[in-house]
Amino acid sequence: MRKKIIAGNWKMNMTPSQAVALCAELKDLVKNDDVDVVYCVPAIDIVPVVNALKGTNVKVGAENMYFEEKGAYTGEISAAMLKDAGVEYVIIGHSERRDYFKEDDALLNKKVKKAIEAGLTPILCCGETLEQREMGITMDWIRMQIKSDLAGVAAADVAKLVIAYEPIWAIGTGKTATTAQAEEVCGGIRACIAEIYDKATADAVRIQYGGSVNAGNAAELFAEKDIDGGLVGGASLKADFGKIVCYNK
């Protein structure tokens, strides 16, 4: 039985002091031992958030990292730095990074490998544009992303990672994929993992849905057999996040 994992993606929101205040506000609302809860926060918020969440059930994630060990990469943050600061998860390949910062699958593959090597759990994002969906190539596109981003990654490591299916047209738009659409692709991703690796790996990997998840649609989405939780943007910055985390209460 896979444990659900519900992660907030704060994106470029919350100054360090706002971040600490939000952690205090949500503290009692996000208690749910049935699920893993993660806040993926801007790099500058990591240290204060790790401190603010000490003794709680919430883990901390980063929103990005670089694949090189260390050195002359001005402005970048390494996996070792994240690990040392108390980070456990890292979002890799969010569509905003792919789009605005031109991150491609070859780069993301290096990031996935480095994160795993450093002992971080990647939350690997994939998803199609509206145009691709309308052309009927959603699953082809996502299979290509998954296969290239995981090239050379061992089954044992894939079993432990998190994949987030985020249809780009549903991110920040208030337009959620229907439960059936979300389940269809999450199931397709699991089938793809079974094909590249094996059934045990596919049964173990956790697959989230992301894209306008809110307190009203979370329970229905998370009830699907292949949806193991959510990656939540906008609603993770509000008290509503507590309702999403406690979707089963």
The smaller minimum CB distance to ligand PGA, of residues 78 and 214, is found at 214
Q: Which residues of 196-231 are buried (b: 16+ CB within 10 A; e: fewer)?
A: bbeeebbebbbbbbbbbbbbebbeebbebebbbbbb
Cβ atoms within 10 Å, residue 139:
16
Query: Which window, 62-70, 74-82, 127-135, 226-234, contacts ligand PGA (CB under 6 A)?
Result: 226-234
Q: Which of 4, 5, 6, 9 binds ligand PGA (CB under 6 A)?
A: 9
* Residue 221 sits in the site that holds ligand PGA (CB under 6 A): no
202 within 8 A of 193, measured Cβ to Cβ: yes
The smaller minimum CB distance to ligand PGA, of residues 79 and 231, is found at 231
Q: Which of 61, 127, 188, 233 binds ligand PGA (CB under 6 A)?
A: 233
Q: State the Cα torsion 184-186-191-197 to the nearest 10°.
A: 170
Q: Which of 212, 226, 227, 237 binds ligand PGA (CB under 6 A)?
A: 212
Q: Which of residues 158-187 bind ligand PGA (CB under 6 A)?
A: 166, 171-172
Q: Structure tokens of 28?
A: 């009692």
- Please measure the distance between the N-terminal and C-terminal CA atoms of the chain and give it in whole angstroms: 19
Q: Which of 93, 167, 210, 229 binds ligand PGA (CB under 6 A)?
A: 210
C-alpha to C-alpha distances, 174 to 110, 168, 193, 212, nearest whole angstrom:
32, 12, 29, 5
The smaller minimum CB distance to ligand PGA, of residues 13 and 56, is found at 13
Strand partners, 232: 8
Catalytic residue flag (residue 184):
no
Query: Which window, 18-26, 43-51, 179-187, 227-235, contacts ligand PGA (CB under 6 A)?
Result: 227-235
Q: Structure tokens of 242?
A: 């507590």
Say how many CA atoms lie within 13 Å of 223 toward its Cβ. Answer: 10
CB of 55 to ligand PGA, least distance (A): 27
Catalytic residue flag (residue 94):
yes
CB of 210 to ligand PGA, least distance (A): 4
Quote the CA–CA distance of 89 and 110 in Å, as a whole number.
16
| Minimal CB distance residue for ligand PGA | 233
The catalytic residues are 94, 166
Query: Which residues would be at the binding site for ligand PGA (CB under 6 A)?
Result: 9, 166, 171-172, 210-213, 231-235
